[in-house]
Amino acid sequence: MSNDILFSVQNGIGIIQLNRPQALNALTHDMCIPLEQHLRSWAKDAAVRAVIIKGSGEKAFCAGGDIRKLADRGPDGVQYRKSFWYDEYRCNTLIGEYPKPFIALIDGIFMGGGVGLSVHGSHRIISEFAHFAMPETGIGLFPDVGGTYFLPRCPGELGVYLGLTGARLKGADILTAGVATHFVPRASMAALEQGLIDAAPTDKAGIDAVVAKFATDPGPSQLAERKTEIDRRFGGESVAAVMAALEADPSPFSIEQAGIIRAKSPTSVKLTFAQLRRGRSLSLRDCMKLEWRICNHVAVGHDFYEGVRAVIIDKDHKPKWQPARLEDVTDAEIEAYFAPVSDGELLFD
């Protein structure tokens, strides 16, 4: 088994350590397979009472998936994408349905795939060094790993705001969005982990009692202060309505957000909006099934590869999106992303 992900059990607590600090603990398919195996085994093991997941190093919990590898256009890339997304989404679902407390200790960057490994758990504990984002619209993708489920369940229209703009959050703002449940300073994270291991709590209340000994107030939230404005600007029933609301408002915030959205993949923006509206009424499993369909359609399009080229490979940050304008993306084109795919549906054991 790869040393990129480590597993141990200490006093009845299963410990998962993402161990690629040189790559910001980016998730690979070789990590997903043993992760699912251990989670399923621990779920059935009465001696394991809870699970902790954490990242190695001080920079990142998990910065996402290995995007370069996912964007490989060759035959190997095709198979890797399908295998990675399939097994990653199964892991996301397993975490969301886990029968035991699942505690993410997030002391650094967590974006994309890293969010999928944490946000669905019962406890998401951040430090002052946690940085959250779902930046997929900027690379021609969409907020997956359960974004269809958790973003519509953020307070008000915060999920739409985060999904369309890829806004980055820190500290109190992550709590305001509902992405994290507790704030614990980095200086106390190791003591919190040891406290959980020593106490070996068996339920949410027991974990809450341990976390309460270390949790502190992260201070004021700028996101909370802007929430009313965000709800008003991002509450429209179409991307056109959202853009009209932003572009009719002369405030610096609205002007900035309109510009940010216009720079993203127009297809990704409209796809994300439709995805999040559908996700409001779907179960986590149904959201993940939908994302499996979407990612397979995205993988045969243009914008994902162009976005990765512009942002990650060449880093010229000048993507040539097709279509290039929001106004040129039709409803029929977006609807096609939700259609069944030839490889069949995402299945669960």
Point out the catalytic residue in the list 14, 55, 65, 140: 65
Name residues whose C-beta falls within 8 Å of residue 181's C-beta, 6 or more positions apart in sequence. Answer: 122, 123, 124, 125, 175
**What tokens were used for 279?**
């996700």
Distance of CA 190 to the CA centre of its chain: 24
Contact (Cβ atoms closer than 8 angstroms) between residue 306 and residue 140? yes
* Count of CB atoms situated within 10 Å of the CB of 206: 16
The single residue listed with the structure tokens 């097709």 is: 322
Closest CA to 93 of 38, 12, 36: 36
Separate counts of helices (H) and strands (E) for the chain: 16, 10
pLDDT at position 77 is 81
Alpha-carbon distance 152 to 22, whole Å? 33
Model pLDDT, residue 73: 74
Residues 320-347 have pLDDT tens digits of 999 999 999 999 999 999 999 988 999 9
Active site residue 138: no
Q: State yes or no: is 113 an active-site residue.
A: yes
Question: What's the rounded Cα separation, in Å, for the pair 295 and 279?
Answer: 15
Phi, psi of 255 (to 5 degrees): -60, -45
State the pLDDT at residue 79: 87
Q: Measured between alpha carbons, how far is residue 50 from residues 5, 15, 206, 284 in Å?
A: 18, 9, 11, 21
User: Which residues of the chain, if any, have pLDDT below 50?
Assistant: none
CB 183 within 8 A of CB 219: no
| Active-site choice (144, 157, 303, 306) | 144
The predicted structure's pLDDT at residue 1 = 53
The residue from 4, 36, 88, 136 that is catalytic is 136
Say what the pLDDT of residue 74 is: 76
> How close are the terminal C-alpha atoms of the chain, in Å?
23
Provide the pLDDT for residue 69.
87
- Model pLDDT, residue 276: 99
| Listed residue (120, 108, 109, 92) closest to 35, CA to CA | 92
Bridge pairing between strands 102-106 and 50-55: parallel
Q: What is the DSSP annotation of 170-227? A: EHHHHHHTTS-SEE--HHHHHHHHHHHHHH---SHHHHHHHHHTT-------HHHHHH
User: What is the rounded CA–CA span in Å between residue 139 and residue 166?
Assistant: 10
Query: What pLDDT does 349 receive?
Result: 79
Examine the residue annotation and report whether 144 is marked as an active-site residue of this protein.
Answer: yes
236 a catalytic residue = no
User: Model-level pTM?
Assistant: 0.96
Structural domains of the chain, with CATH: 5-338 (3.90.226.10)
